[in-house]
Amino acid sequence: MVKFIFLVTVFSALLFAEDLVEKNCISCHKKEQIPSYMIYKRYLLKYSVNDRIADAIYKYLKNPKKENSIMPKPFFLKFPMKKPLDLNDAQLRLSVTEFVKKFDVKKRLRLEKAK
Tens of pLDDT along 85-110?
A: 788 888 888 888 888 888 887 777 76
Domain boundaries, the chain: 2-106
Residue 5 confidence (pLDDT) above 90:
no
Nearest to 31 by CA among 83, 69, 72, 74: 83
Tell me what pLDDT residue 46 has: 94
Sequence-separated contacts (24+) of 27-36 with Cβ below 8 Å: 32/79, 32/80, 34/79, 36/99, 36/103
Instruction: Tell me the average pLDDT across 28-42.
Output: 77
Q: Select the more confidently predicted residue: 25 or 84.
A: 84
Tell me what pLDDT residue 15 has: 44
As a whole-number percent, the residues of the chain with pLDDT over 70 amount to 67
Please name the amino acid found at residue 89.
Answer: D
- Is there a contact between 84 and 23 (Cβ–Cβ < 8 Å)? no
